[in-house]
Structure 1
Amino acid sequence: MDLLRFITCGSVDDGKSTLIGRLLYDSKSILADQLEAIERATKGRDDGTVDLALLTDGLRSEREQGITIDVAYRYFQTPKRKFIIVDAPGHIQYTRNMVTGASNCQLAIVLIDARQGVVEQTRRHSLIASLLGIPHIVVAVNKMDLVGHSQNVFSDICIQYAELARNLNVSQVTYIPISALNGDNVVDRSTTMPWYDGLTLLDHLETIEVDEVASADAGAAGRFPVQYVIRPQTSELHDYRGYAGKITSGLFRTGDSITVLPSGETSTIDAIEIAGQHLTEATAPQSVVLHLATDVDISRGDLLVRSDGLPLTSQTVEAMLCWMDTKELRVGSKYVLQVGTARTRCSVREIVHQLNVNTYEKIEGVESLALNDLARVVLRTAQPVSFDPYQQNRATGGAILIDETSNVTVGALMLVGEA
């Protein structure tokens, strides 16, 4: 049974948590004690209904305010497929949480309130989903019950979003009218919208081809960031130097020629070990210990790659940035750049342009960025950095900026190439 990982996003109060609760409730994926807990929490409501949003809004502050603050993960399965749901906060203050939640997703559900249409956060979250390489978007027009289940309202929103999507790197957009509160077209087909003849949301999630939405790194070249150097020296049989880590993409076999980056040293794989067992080959996302045929100077942060598919290595890197700190980023500011297990100091050489989240216009001449701003930047690093363009390989194309003084992650990066 295959797995689909998707994120729900959109503006605050568009009904993301309620939608997830409805998916879990109507697909009978809620444990009895969970259902009893939310029934107790909503006991005494005037309409006698159960607040399904409480299945995902677990923090006390979320329940008090009625909004999602942190990213919530939920797991369920049907006879056809397993699912991991990422519930992203809709409030603009927590856009950075959406970036981290969406980074490994294969599909995005963008909720739109039928009364409000396309708003700023709709555009912002759609842009971020596009930048993160999520190829498929489902536009779920929610709260159709509050607009009289109007086909005209639904059609107008589809037209609005289609104009937006033309500026995005998205291969497919699917539109579904729903009412998460009442369950219309979520798991069961609605009887109140006979004019809609497409799939329900769950039917679409169950039948979309996973191969079409697979992560860009699934068939990429072999990449192995070194996490730890193992030197047991417990006996003659266990006196070796091994390199532990997780294969982030591709395939490694014994006998493969490998290159160590950024040094450029070469060797061959002598053995591949998992829990004391030796294998002839290993693939992503296995965690392994690699043994090399020759002694090479390798430490944590180095990247082992197959020599037949080298990544880029440079000290000047261009990237798309989502700024995640309340303190402004300015040209010339210094941070720590982390790509995989590698860390190096860097400075912001240039803000090439900032993206206007409403018009997707490129604004040039910008000298600083504020919280949640999206921009293309050029970084100069103290040491060479090895990476792949994000659209080719998420594993080695994603990076973060870390504040040197507080050790707080202040920026999420999608690496584009050499500047």
Structure 2
Amino acid sequence: MRLRLLLLALGTFAVGTDTMVMAGILGRVADDLDVSVAAAGQMVSVFALAYALLAPVLATLTARWRRRRLLLTALAVFTAANALSALAPDYPTLLATRVLAAAGAALYTPTANAVATALVPPERRGRAIATVLGGMTVATALGVPLGTYVGRADWRLTMWLVVVLGAVALLGLAVFLRELPAPAPAVGLRERLAPLREGRIVAAVATTFVFFVAFQAVYIYLAVAVRPATDGEAGRLTLILLVTGIASVGGSWLGGRAVDRWGVRAVLLVAGSVAALAFGALPWLGLTMRGALLYATVSPLAGWAISVAQPHRLASLSPAHAPLLISLNSSALYLGMAAGGGAGSLAMTLLGERWFPLASTALALAVLALVATTTSHPQREVAGRSGPLVGRKAKQPGKRPAEARHRTTSSPSGD
């Protein structure tokens, strides 16, 4: 079981490297394809937007597929798309391959998280999700620097590195992953859109979106926020980013264990509070190297703990429909990443280069309010129950309709 989780994590490591390494090779892409750096940067936006839009659509279209087949198909599409990116002769072709890679990633990551929860007993689901998401965090700490280094002479070598990672994960899962229980019975389109009518699901997805707007608005412009500490020296900024990557791994690991021990609500409230404090303190922490490193440690710990808690929260609402619900969460995450750049730029324009992180503080406080009003204390939940929110109505003879609805939406995870 541990090997299968690690292979799933290798797949997310490949996806994470592909998603984030572009920032390190934009200049070489621009020079090779004779476009501006700004145009080359659209690869990142195209990937993020395509992922966000395709994740729930593809989850719906593939709902009848066995999960093993779905995982292998997703990795095959993702790996082939990156090979095409490495061979792209021009800029339009490269953008098209990034959309195809996003389609593979949008199929793979939510399914991998859902499969991870199916491989372990309920009390270990948080750690299982943390292991799979750990691939993304390790990509931040190791994959991105490695990909940037490999592509220092030719950016296409970076794409081939992603191809190798994806191919190894594909081969490993094909050999070691057995068939999994059949997914939930297929239902009509109207029923598949039912999550968007469920208040708790909408609240959970909104939590992910707003928090990642806040987080990315600072992360994308972190070099600006810590410029007084680095004095523009690349070596100091690299150290800060390295600490950020390592702390991201720690946040994912700790977040999974914290969810299993204390529940989703507690992790979201504590980690959200820590993130809000970190954003609010950054205008002062960014003045010194010691303060910048403190921020680089604390903020990713909180951010990635939330990243682990949110898929667990949605999967617990309806385990049978976990791939669809987690795909909605992934879409919200990538939309937040895409919107974070614009939000950070706007905050910088309105508040200035020193004070713009305060906008993220306000957004983080909004997240805390949302969590506090839309999640329940664990002791109020019905043990061992997680109601099927998608494609089915609760029927409980002898219960009042309001009570039946309450039990239908109860979750064992503290959501």
TM-score range, shorter chain: under 0.3
Q: Which has the higher strand share?
A: 1
Decide which structure has greater helix share.
Answer: 2
**TM-score under structure 1 normalisation?**
0.26
TM-score (norm 2): 0.26
User: Rg bigger for which structure?
Assistant: 1
